[in-house]
Structures are given as structure tokens and as C-alpha cells.
A and B are shown apart, each in its own frame.
Chain A
Amino acid sequence: MGPVLAGVLQLIALIGALALAYIPLGNYMAKVYSSRGHLRVEKWIYKAIGADPDTEMTWPAYLRGVLAFSAVSVLFLYLLQRLQGVLPGSLHFSAVNPAQSFNTAVSFVTNTNWQSYYGEQTMGHVVQTAGLAVQNFVSAAVGIAVAVALVRGFARSRTGELGNFWADLVRGTLRILVPGAAIAAVILVACGAIQNFSGIHEVGQFMGGSQQWNGGAVASQEAIKELGTNGGGYFNANSAHPFENPTPFTNLFEIFLILVIPFSLTRTFGVMVGSVKQGYAILATMFTIWLGFTALMMWTEFAHHGPALQAAGGAMEGKEVRFGVGGSSIFAVATTLTSTGAVDSFHSSFTGLGGGITMLSMMLGEITPGGTGSGLYGILIMAVIAVFIAGLMVGRTPEYLGKKIGGREMKLAACYILITPALVLVFTAASMALSTPPHSMLNSGAHGFSEVLYAFTSASNNNGSAFAGLNANTDWYNTMTGLAMLLGRFLPMVFVLALAGSLAEQKPVPVTAGTLRTEKPLFTGLLVGAILIITGLTYFPALALGPLAEGLAS
């Protein structure tokens, strides 16, 4: 079996598995966020944090919940790292420095999981498991909660109420992510990923010399790292490390975990707004772009130029032999099109165009299918923009799901789409214009520029993957990527929730033959076009000077 065929078969198997999970998982999540009852353990939690899960919140209240919870989380993670030296189970690692602690705290709370540290050389068991792994669950749950609030905004009318943030947060964590990650962890352990609390092993190397191997609760963290589209690896090598991702099967399984919630949330959306067809239209949009990018990536990576690449059967530099070009390409697109950022291969070593695809994937705004929750709310904002333009073309004031898109809605949606381009471009430009930050680049020319562009694209879009080569552990990059992550995560949430509130107050417009049918393939095509064109136009100059210059040079 040739490597190309193997890649295609893996892709087909992946699509089959995602299709099987779509309806049951989507329906289950809709049930979770619509249920009225509470589990006993949930009641304990509500009591402990002093929240009443049955009160409805307006959008400012919901937003306050999101921000307060996240602020406390950042502070807790920061202190945990700063105090690592005096905590038990720290494997004798000392406190993490302030800039890096800030960066890492923000990184995990914002679901970005950008890592400017080497996991196995910086963090002990306590920080990894009690700090980072916990955030892997709750930051994902926050994302889904905000998405569900927006969906309620579409589904409800003549009310400002969007549900209860604490209930959504707790339910998402306990009823969806914990059981899902538990099952996934067992499967990963069964396939060879490690799960222990042992210390550092000194291991002699085959070629002489020695190497340090850490133990740890790796499989459990790996499971939620992918399922919650987090991406922060236990080890620096991330999912390329055999303890995290030992076999081609676990590789495919991890890709499945990355994609399953973002895709299935479109079903949840469809069920909650009372039209599964609307969910299918959004799914089709996500799927089209994801499949297209995956195919493009496999093509650029298999289309080998030069004798060395031909001998390897594709661009194998920076890729694990056990995953091959196919498995690595599928993983790279999945991890960058969702806000995951886990890597099983090094994106900087991809072909010039391949590296460009990973960047463009993030630049789309992490919406096809995007992060857990953030993907859904992001694409719904794009749908609002697309509906606005298309709606005019059918001769009506634009409306989506029965809600009118007027000045206020447009203002909020416009602010949302402005944020990440502004962050990416301004931070990158500042890094290029100042004298010191460019010193972090390993390479010169287009590739060096790509390293910086990639870093801020990844941080602002809350992806977290890195284009190896850039030394990001400097005060400048730790602080600036930290800010990019914070602003890139929470400013959009402000506008999403404000939009949700505005939509929930409206009375619905009934559907007539004059209504733009947003569940039809035509609209899906329009939405795909709008996403690609708007992103393409925003980043074309930057991409031209980075990956395009490099990729078209050959």
C-alpha cells in the first residue's frame, strides 16, 4: 500500500467515525444544555461556589460570569507556577519566571495552550495535573457555554435571558468533557500511551550518552488536550512524542477527538434552534473547508520536488515515520483549523505552501470546525455577515434564523471580525519593526518572517501551535503573545454575548418564500466563499511575504 493510499484511507476512516458520532453526540449535548435537573455532584459544586444554577442571566451577567471565572483561573494558574518550588510533587523544578508564568496561565485559560516552555523540563506533576489539565477541561467548557448562549440568543425571543453560565460550565465539564476524556484516556492507555506518577528516568541512549524520560498522567491529559481542542502537550514534542501518541491508530484517534466536538456542536445548534437542517448547513460549510484544506495539504506534502523528498515518498522532514505524510498532514490541518494546536509533526518543516496552509487555517478564525464552542460561535458570526450581504441581494432587510440583522447586530459582528486580524497584524508588525524581537528568529528571509507571523496568528486565534524555530521564551514574546491570547479570547466573547442578548430580545420574523434560505447548499457555498475571501483579503500581503514567497520560489 502506497503512502498516498494509506493517507486517503485514514481520511475516509476518520470521516466515517465523525459521521457516526455526529447525531448521538450532538443530540446528547443539546440535551445537556437544555436539561433542568441537576446531578448530586453538580449540586455540591453549586453550593460550594455559591451559584444558583436555575436563575436566568442576561448577557452582561453571563459575561461577568465568564470573565470572573477566567480571571480567577488565570490568577490561580499563575500562583501555582510561581509557587512550584514549594509545592509537593514538583519533581524538584523551581518556580517558573513571571513572564512565562503569565504567558502559560493565560495560554491555558484561553484554550490556546501556547507553550513557551519545555513541559518535561519545567513543570512538575502538580502544575501539570492540578493546574494545566484542569484548565484543559474548564476552558473548553467556557467556550461551549458561550456558544450555547449565542445559540439560545437565536432560539429565544422577547427575552434577554441566555441561560446560566455556572450551570453551563459545570454541565459541560461534568457531563460531556469528563466522561468523554475518561473513555478516550482508557483507549489511549490501551494503545500504549503512559499514565503514571513516576519521576525522571535516566535512560542510556543507543548511540551513547543518556536521556531523561519523565513519567506522568500523560494519557489522561492527552485525551482532554485533544477533546477540548487545547493542544498543550505534556512533553515539548507534543503529540509527536511516543508517550503521548504511540501509534498510527492513536494518531487517527487523536484527530478524531480534536474534531468530534466542534463538528457535532452544529447538530446541537440545529436541535436547539429547532431546525437540524440549519445545523447541517453550518456543518457542510465547516466540512467543505476542512476537507478542502486537508486535500490541499496532502497534495502539497506528497508532491515532492527533488531527489531527497522523492526517496522519502513525500516531504518527510519534521514528520514522524510512524505517521507518515498522510497522518501528519491530516493532523496538521485538523489541529490548525480547530483551535487545538497540538502537533504530531513540525509545521515549520512542512513545504512552504504546506506551512502556509497551517497559517491560513488559523487565520480563518478557528471556525471550520474551530475550537470547542468558539468554532460554532465564530462561524455563526460569519454567517451573520454573509447573511447580511446575501440578504440584501434577495431584497429584504437581512435576517438569520428569524432574527433581523440591523445596525446593532452588524456593529457587534463587525467588531468581532476586526479583533483577530488587528491583533495578528499589529503584534507581528510591532515585532518586525522593533529592534530586539526579530532576534528570536532562527531563519532569515520569508521563513523567518513566517515564524513571527505564525506565532501571533496562533496566539491571537487561540490555537497554540508553534512554527518551530522562533525562540518565544523572551519577555517580549511571553508578554505580547500573552496579551494576544487574552484579547483574542475574551474580546470576541464580549461581542458574541452582546449579540446573543440583542438577538434574544427580538421577536422572530416568520419564514416566507421571500426569506433567504440559510439551510440550502447555495448559502453554504456563499458562506464558504465569504470566509475564504474575507480572510484571504485580510492576510494576503502578509502571506505573500511569508509562506507564499517561500512556497512559490521552487
Chain B
Amino acid sequence: MTTDIKKQEDSMSTPTLAPHQDAPTGHKPDEGRVGAGLFEPRQLLKSLPEACRKLDPRVMVKSPVMFVVWIGSVLTTVFSFQHPGDWFGWTISAWLWLTVIFANLAEAVAEGRGKAQADTLRKAKTDTVARRLLADGSEEQVPGTALTIGDLVVCEAGDVIPGDGDVVEGVASVDESAITGESAPVIRESGGDRSAVTGGTKVLSDRIVIKITTKPGETFIDRMINLVEGAARQKTPNEIALNILLASLTIVFLLAVATLPPFADFAFKNVGSHEHLTMVVLVALLVCLIPTTIGALLSAIGIAGMDRLVQRNVLAMSGRAVEAAGDVSTLLLDKTGTITLGNRQAAEFVPVKGTTEAEVADAAQLSSLADETPEGRSIVVLAKEKYGLRERHQGELAGAEWIEFTAQTRMSGVDVDGRKIRKGATASVIAWVEEQGGTVAEDADGMANRISEAGGTPLLVAVHDDEGARVLGVIHLKDVVKEGMRERFEELRRMGIKTVMITGDNPLTAKAIAEEAGVDDLLAEATPEDKMALIKREQAGGKLVAMTGDGTNDAPALAQADVGVAMNTGTSAAKEAGNMVDLDSNPTKLIEIVEIGKQLLITRGALTTFSIANDVAKYFAIIPALFAAVYPGLDKLNIMHLSSPDSAILSAVVFNALIIIALVPLSLKGVRYRPMSADKMLRRNLGIYGIGGLVAPFIGIKIIDMLISLIPGIGR
């Protein structure tokens, strides 16, 4: 029982956690939960200069598909200079350059959104002057950039913390809005799990001594800037694999196009023509066939995926981690704060023999008015809601003497009209009653035990009036499962993700909550070693594990997990060990992170499918245009009835360029994602992007052809 009371204290003494923004409650079932980042067409225009700068071949070569288009553009341009009177060559060249620029634009827009965030961050990283503490206890003023690891610096109210470190002395409230965007100050104190401070944040009160743990230039804020700007961006494993597939498709089409001239020459010769396929036509065919759509948008998709996390105040230290999030099959969720609300709440009042529930409720409410902890508030609220007891305020009762809750007494209460009412931890209240000369009802102890066995926390309510001191009843404090969690876990199960609840509670308590929340498994009385063992066990079975953590003792497990999300409120060891940091310190976000990871992969797959499916229509446009003159039968393949060969080829090239721009918003927002089974998801996405990808270009090319044929001299 003592452990339970200790827990109550713990939770009572930590009200400084940032308020959780509970995602489940704001979730409308019809909408994709992973929402869109805003996309404004104006961004395209703003990014245009950057897109042109990216035309540098040294930059282009990083994307093999677009590099081929780049080379093609150069070739057709050279050809056009040799044949300056050929309007067709010039037009194709122009559209090929546009294709490359559109691709660069997609990337530039994605990067631009990160840059805006980086600028905000840079503002926080103003040059600070640090007050370095010397060995003799005196201070010296040094620039923040001159600090080295191990230096001790002093910060007082109004100072900006000069670097990342741990508080080694003192307590202070700190404004971390510069990095978290959360304006409510947080408490930072020496020792324990809330000792980490971040450079660039501001001390609001008191004085602390900080031991610097990071070199200047490698601080958290520096890394954040690098990350959101994409400077530290490396290709992720899946991106590499996809690039290989795209490169091999490019080679296949390169072969198909490069071998075409001898075939065509033979065909032309056959009808006595001395025509050859021109360089322009071959390049146009090649560019239409290679997977330019996905090739152009691939890096934008990756950057945007990271960006979507940043918009949710999550910093992924690598793209690899975001990808791994999509693959996660086991989620380790801390009970407190993730599955249950951070605090226990009163669920019922149980009277001892000889009293009524209403009496207990009344006494409980009165004695809790002076208890400002969430538990105390919940007792007042329950009494009001269940027994119609109007909430009284401390000022209403004249002559009342209020006894505030403290961690030492573990009781609160009131002395009014000659009655002394107390409520609090079982042991404390029993001691009080005995001290007042009263006796404890026999059944009180039994009831309290039953409540703890069922996973709750019992608080006793006692009174000392003219009938003497006695226990009136027991308040049942319960962990309250957050609203919507059950449905959420159900969704996760459908997605094939197993949820494991981690708690320090005893197995009995844990099981009750696990059942209520609907998690798949639980780890009770969990030690850091247990957590570590669980992760290793799951990984040995081939599963990827995601977890959240904040304490120093979570660090090994965070490092071992495939996706380790450290809370920003946590220690620097935890932040160092994890591969993501949640600036809101909201453990529920783990679920969203998984969804963002999946959405990233889905977007890549969908656009790859779309890109490949597009080719079918382009062949039907270009092949008859090239050869119907030699083999009239091939005109039967001109099922779109395009107006002329030139217009057909041009329409395909124009469509190919425009589709990139048209899909920029999709690649930045990600395709709509809703949790569902793999089968349903595949059916849906194949329908939209596979079948859609087959049909769309037939329509698009036809429309462009109709517009082009209006230009005099091109249409037949």
C-alpha cells in the first residue's frame, strides 16, 4: 500500500508537465488524421530562383532520372541551335527544361518550408554571453561560443541559457517557447529527470548552475536547424532501394529508345524513305518513358515527410527513423500520460458500516476543497456530479480552518463548526484517527485493500465530531483511460501493430487498466532492464519496436528501440539516445509518428505506380506518331485520335512536365492516410494511382493536343 501512496505523491508533485494535446479527441473519423501541411501556390514562385540554381549538373546528378532529362534537354537545345528554323525542336527543348525546373521546384518548395522554420530557430540562437563559473567561485563573462564541455555557467532570471546542459544546482522556471512553441514555463531543477536545459531558452525566475554537455555548433538547436533545412539529409534505405528501381527502369527505357534508330531506319528504307528519327524525337520519347514523375518528386516527398513531423513538433534525427516508424509492429506505451490521463481520479465513494454514501461524499468534498492536486479536484467534481453537492468555495464557510494538502502530511481537510474532517492516504488518516482517540472501523481496511487489489488507490475519509473520531468511508481513486484510446488501439491492431503497456504498477492494477484500454499486452512492475529485455525479444522475432521515454534510465532502451522518441522534458541522456524528440512531450504522439512514417512510404509507392502506369498512354501517343507514315496499320494505335504527329509528341512531353507540378501539393501533403488493413489500403491505392495512372494521361494528353491543335500550323 505504501507504494501506491508514494505514487500518488509522485503524481501530485509533478504538475509541471505541459498540458497534453490529446490527439484522439480531435480526430474526426472521416478525415485522414495525418493532416496536410499548408501548400500555397505562391511558394512555387518564391522557390523559382532556387529551382534554377539547382540546374547545376553537380546537383542534378544526385537524382539519376532527372539527370537523364537534364542531359536530354542539353542535347535537344544543341540540336535546336544547329537547326534554328525548327520550331518543334525549340518547343520540345523548352518543355524539357521546364520538366527539369519543375522537378527542382518541387524540391525547393519542400526545402523552403524547412527554411522558414530554421529562421525562427536562428532567432533563438542569438549570440549569448555566458557567465562561466571559475574554480574559485568567481564568475567571468565569455561568449557562448567559447564554452566547452564540462564548463559550469550561471543563469539567473532574464538570462538566455548559453548552451545545452544539465542543471547541477538550483531550481528555475524556464521559457522554452523558442523551441517548443509552448508558452507556459517549465520547471528545471538539479538532479532527477528534469535537469536538462536547452541553449537558447530563457530563465524566468531563480538562479541555476548549468554544466555544459554539448560543444557549441552541435547543440540541440543547431541540429534542429540542420534537420529542418535538410542540410543533414541523407538518403534513407528505402529511398536508395527505390532509386535503384527507378534507375533500372531508366536504363530499360534508354535501351528501348537507343535501339530504335536502326529499327526505324530499316522501316523507313523499306518504303524508300531516307528519313531518320531526329535526336529531338528520341529524347522526347525517352523523357516521356522514364519515370520522371516519381523521379522529380522523390526527394520532395522525403523532405516533406520530415517536415510533417516538425509541424507536429517532433524532430526526427534521421530520415531512417521516419521510415522505420512506418514499419513498426510493436508499440511500447507508458501507461501514465499515454494510455491514462496523468492523474488518478475519484471514481466512487464507499461508506463504512453505519454511514451513507452521501455522507462520505459530503465529507470528502469538504475535506478536498483545500487540495489543489488533480486528485483532490476530481473528488470535488465527482461529489458534485454524482451527489449533486454544489462545489463550495473556501471563502463560503466562515470560520473554517483549511488544512492544505502537503506531501509530508499526505492529508488535506477542514476544521469547521467543531467538526474536523480529513481525507488522505490510508496510513496517514488511520494515524490521525488514532491520534484523535478514535477507532478505525473494521471494514475500512478491508475496503481499502479491495480497491488496491482492483488496481485503484484508496483514500480514507475521516471525521472528528461530537461522536468522536472515526473513519466514514473510502474514496476510490482510479486511473482514467483517455477517451478514444480503445478505438485507437483497435485501429492499430487492424494496421498490424501490437501495443504493449508499460507500467510500474503491480500486475493486478496493470491488468485492470490494460483490459479497460484494450492494449494487446502489458509489462507490469517494469524496470528499465525489463523494458530492454522486452525490446530485444521483440526485435529477435523480426519486429520493429517504437517507444517513448524521458528518464536517464530509459536511455539504453531508447537507443535499442528502432524508433525511440524522447520527451523534450526528459534528460539530455534520453534525448541523446532516442532518434526523435517530441518537443510537446506528448507520448500519445508515437501513434501519429507511426502514421506519418507509413504515409511517407505510401506516397512514394503511389507516385511510383502512377509514374509507371502513365507510360502506356505515352506510347499510344508517340509510336503511331513516329511510324504511322511507314506502316499505316499503326495508326490504329492512335486511339486518342491526336491531331498530328508533332502535336502528339509535344502533348505527351507537355503532359509529362505538367503532371509534375500538378502533383507537387500531393507529394508535400502526402497521400491521404487512414488506418486500415494492408489489403484494403492496397486495393484503394492501386485503384487510385494504378488505374488512375493508366487513364489520366489518355485524357490529359488528349486535352493538351486539342489545345495545341488550335495553334495554326500544327494541327492537321
Contacts and interface: CB of A to CB of B under 8 A. Distances in A.
Given A397-B238, A422-B255, A425-B255, A410 B245 contact: yes
B217 interface: no
Interface in A426-452: 426, 428-430, 432-433, 438, 444-446, 448-449
B633 A548 contact: yes
Contacts of B599: 395
Given A392-B242, A432-B262, A552-B637, A449 B267 contact: yes
10 contacts: A397-B323, A407-B237, A418-B251, A438-B266, A513-B496, A514-B329, A537-B612, A545-B627, A549-B267, A554-B633
Given A391-B605, A514-B329, A445 B270 contact: yes
B252 A538 contact: yes
Contact of A394 (B238, B602, B637): B602
B630 to A, nearest CB: 8
A541 B263 contact: yes
6 closest pairs, A vs B, by CB? A392-B605, A514-B496, A395-B598, A512-B496, A552-B633, A414-B248
Contact of A507 (B256, B542, B615, B686): B542
Contact of B631 (A426, A446, A507, A508): A446
Contact of B601 (A392, A405, A433, A541): A392
Interface of B: 237-238, 240-242, 244-245, 247-248, 251-253, 255-260, 262-267, 270, 285, 289, 323, 326-327, 329, 493-498, 540-543, 597-599, 601-602, 604-606, 608-609, 612-613, 615-616, 619, 623, 627, 630-634, 636-637, 673, 677-679, 681-683, 685-686, 689-690
Nearest to A549: B631
B678 A389 contact: no
A540 interface: yes
Contacts of B262: 429-430, 432-433
A485 B599 CA distance: 44
Contacts of A549: 267, 627, 630-631, 633-634
A510 B538 CA distance: 10
Nearest to B594: A395
Given A428-B263, A552-B634, 9 more contacts: A385-B245, A393-B606, A513-B493, A513-B678, A522-B682, A541-B256, A541-B263, A545-B263, A549-B267
Contacts of B260: 541-542
B635 to A, nearest CB: 8
Contacts of A237: none
A553 interface: yes
A113 B262 CA distance: 28
Interface in A410-424: 410-411, 414-415, 417-418, 421-422
A536 interface: yes
Interface residues of A, number: 70
Contacts of B540: 507
Contacts, number: 223
B497 A553 contact: no
Contacts of A406: 237-238, 241
Interface of A: 385, 388-397, 402, 405-407, 409-411, 414-415, 417-418, 421-422, 425-426, 428-430, 432-433, 438, 444-446, 448-449, 507-510, 512-517, 520, 522-523, 526, 529, 533-534, 536-542, 544-545, 548-554
Contacts of A536: 616
B270 A444 contact: yes
Contacts of A552: 631, 633-634, 636-637
Contacts of B609: 389, 393
Given A411-B244, A510-B329, A541-B260, A395 B673 contact: yes
A76 B242 CA distance: 44
Given A415-B248, A522-B682, A540 B623 contact: yes
Contacts of A507: 540, 542
A405 B255 CA distance: 26
A544 B270 contact: no
A553 B244 contact: no
A396 B244 contact: no
B326 to A, nearest CB: 5
Contact of A548 (B247, B637, B681, B682): B637
B679 A392 contact: no
B248 A509 contact: no
Contacts of B270: 444-446
A414 B540 CA distance: 30
Nearest to A405: B241
Given A392-B605, A449-B263, A545-B263, A510 B542 contact: yes
Contacts of B673: 395
Contacts of B327: 396-397
A393 B682 contact: yes
A421 B256 contact: yes
